[in-house]
Amino acid sequence: MRKLLNKLLLKFGYLITKAPRLLVEQSIESAGMLPEHLTEKVTIGESAETPDNELYEIFAADTNVHKWRHYFDIYTRHFDPYRSKPIRMLEIGVFRGGSLRMWKQYFHPESLIVGIDIDRNCQQYEIAEQQVYVRIGSQGDPDFLAAVNKEFGPFDIVLDDGSHKTYHQLISFTSLFRDALKEGGCYMVEDMHTNYWTSHVDTPQSFIELAKQMVDMLHEPYLGRKEINFRHKHAEAVTELALSYLGANLNGIAFYDSIIVFDKRLKKLPKSEQR
């Protein structure tokens, strides 16, 4: 019953939320602490250049992949460290299978790539002999996600390129981050610009708003404490801390134009040291 109530609240709560467009305008116009020279309009133009990295070359050689050009530098920055060893990757959103083939070519050849999609037609893009698998179900269904994790996980990388609806982004993140993402893993959500389109916001709060709050959770150890509580060998230093699961396991969050990256690593007690 409680689960159902939560679901209904999440589904229909967006009716009372502020329009996402308004939120951006408010942030830009009433960012009270920012001087005008940082908020005045400047003009941006097109770039004639294409991304200069190997992943873009792989992308450009295939058809049936749909990615924004500026994502390739971000993928390269966050995914390159995973290339030297076989990994397990879960991509939400298969479409025509092009991105699954792209990841297969980019990562170590023994890597396992799993795509999930709600569309049954996507099953045809499985290439089991190359460890590229497709499972059909909704990213908004925690039981389906748990079954995919049981069959193939835990994963080094989860990439959410599914419906881009905030309800789905939330359910996928909350279902996968703890149990389906490995220590040292990377959880990436793309096409975050859709969080600024009312058509895609179906939760009381957008996913990007939630991610901004998670920035605060990164700093949970410091709440109500002082620097000496973390000072090396100081009498008032704490030796252990009880933190929320996210506060303890979020090592960093990176925000880009349309992409958020959550870096999972169990925190050690922060230490300050003076020499």
Ligand X SMILES: C[S@@+](CC[C@H](N)C(=O)[O-])C[C@H]1O[C@@H](n2cnc3c(N)ncnc32)[C@H](O)[C@@H]1O
Q: Taking CB under 6 A as the rule, which mask of x and - marks residues 76-95 in contact with ligand X?
A: ---------------xxxxx
Among 29, 52, 80, 119, binds ligand X (CB under 6 A): 119
Q: Which is nearer to ligand X, 200 or 264 (CB)?
A: 200
Instruction: Among 55, 75, 104, 140, indicate the residue that binds ligand X (CB under 6 A).
Output: 140
CB of 84 to ligand X, least distance (A): 24
* DSSP one-letter code for 61: H
Among residue numbers 32 through 71, which ones bind ligand X (CB under 6 A)? 65-67
Residue 149: in which H helix or E strand, if any? helix 142-152
Neighbours of 263 (CB within 10 A): 16
Cβ distance to ligand X smaller for residue 67 or 267: 67
Q: Does residue 67 contact residue 93 with C-beta atoms inside 8 Å?
A: no
Q: Considering Cα of 137, then 93, then 166, then 152, what sign does the dihedral take?
A: positive
- Minimum CB–partner distance for residue 122 and ligand X (Å): 6
Give yes or no for a cis peptide into 109 (omega within 30° of 0): no
* Minimum CB distance to ligand X smaller for 143 or for 183: 143
How far apart, in Å, are the Cα atoms of 54 and each of 57, 73, 223, 259?
A: 5, 10, 43, 20
**Sheet hosting strand 250-256, strand order edge to edge:** 132-136, 112-117, 88-92, 155-160, 181-190, 259-264, 250-256
Which of these segments, 20-28, 161-169, 204-212, 260-268, binds ligand X (CB under 6 A)?
Answer: 161-169
Stretch that binds ligand X, among 20-28, 76-84, 160-168, 216-224 (CB under 6 A): 160-168
Q: Which residues bind ligand X (CB under 6 A)?
A: 65-67, 91-95, 98-99, 116-119, 138-140, 161-163, 168
